[in-house]
Chain A
Amino acid sequence: AQTVTQSQPEMSVQEAETVTLSCTYDTSESNYYLFWYKQPPSRQMILVIRQEAYKQQNATENRFSVNFQKAAKSFSLKISDSQLGDTAMYFCAFILYRDDKIIFGKGTRLHILP
């Protein structure tokens, strides 16, 4: 079965701090893409960062970076210099190359405190 586990239902950090959100996933397949999506309160879900499973180099997007450990099936998200606008629900997810459906975790609600 294809699953995603986010072990932290909720987190709070002070503005400007660095925070890491955990994610592990399970699939027997080798070819897939991994994602982190962000859904701010009452707003649309947007893609934060994407990682191709065959690439060893960790993806980065400005203050957002991932730590991808394929053997361990781990895909954590690090947010540096956190800002109030980072307050949101964060979903870890993946999609198989051969498929079209995204498999999501339950999400981590992140609060950035002033």
Chain B
Amino acid sequence: EAGVTQFPSHSVIEKGQTVTLRCDPISGHDNLYWYRRVMGKEIKFLLHFVKESKQDESGMPNNRFLAERTGGTYSTLKVQPAELEDSGVYFCASSQDRLVQYFGPGTRLTVL
């Protein structure tokens, strides 16, 4: 069974540009989560989808971040426009029963 996949693995962009991160959860998992780890800090929750609906988006930093989950399958996280402080590793996770969350390898975002 394929695990959680994320694309791209690494993205380097200029401040002010737009970047879109993609996450493909494990097939059949209704719950999808986004987390972010800024260098030297804790991994922080961003938001949680149940199927295509946003269940909790309390961790989203500001309105420059937009997450979508098309048809309850894959999810995208768009940052527009990107700022320096957005640099970090963005993790996606999926789960069936919420207690056991399976994580993807992460996307390392560098904003110059």
Binding site for B on A (CB under 8 A): 4, 33, 37, 42-47, 50, 91, 93, 95, 100-107
Q: What is the bound-complex CA distance between A74 and B103, given in angstroms?
A: 25
- With most chain B CB atoms within 10 A of its CB, the pick from A45, A106, A107 is A45
Stretch at the interface among B13-21, B40-48, B61-69, B76-84: B40-48
Contacting A104 at CB < 8 Å: which of B42, B58, B106? B42
User: Contacts A100-B33, A100-B56 known; A43 to B98 CB distance under 8 Å?
Assistant: no
Any A CB within 8 A of the CB of B104: yes
Interface residues on B, range: 20 to 34
Total number of residue pairs linking A and B with CB closer than 8 Å: 50
Q: Is A47 touching B42 in the complex (CB atoms < 8 A)?
A: no
Q: Is A91 touching B43 in the complex (CB atoms < 8 A)?
A: yes
Q: Give 24 A-B contacts (CB < 8 Å), ordered by A residue.
A: A37-B103, A44-B3, A44-B4, A44-B103, A44-B104, A45-B91, A45-B103, A50-B100, A95-B98, A95-B99, A100-B31, A100-B48, A100-B98, A101-B33, A101-B48, A101-B56, A101-B59, A102-B33, A102-B35, A102-B43, A104-B35, A104-B44, A105-B42, A106-B41
Q: Cβ of A107: which chain B residues have Cβ within 8 Å of it?
A: 43
Min C-beta distance of A25 to chain B, whole Å: 12
Main secondary structure of the interface of B (DSSP, over half): loop
Q: What is the bound-complex CA distance between A43 and B44, given in angstroms?
A: 19
Q: Is A104 touching B43 in the complex (CB atoms < 8 A)?
A: yes
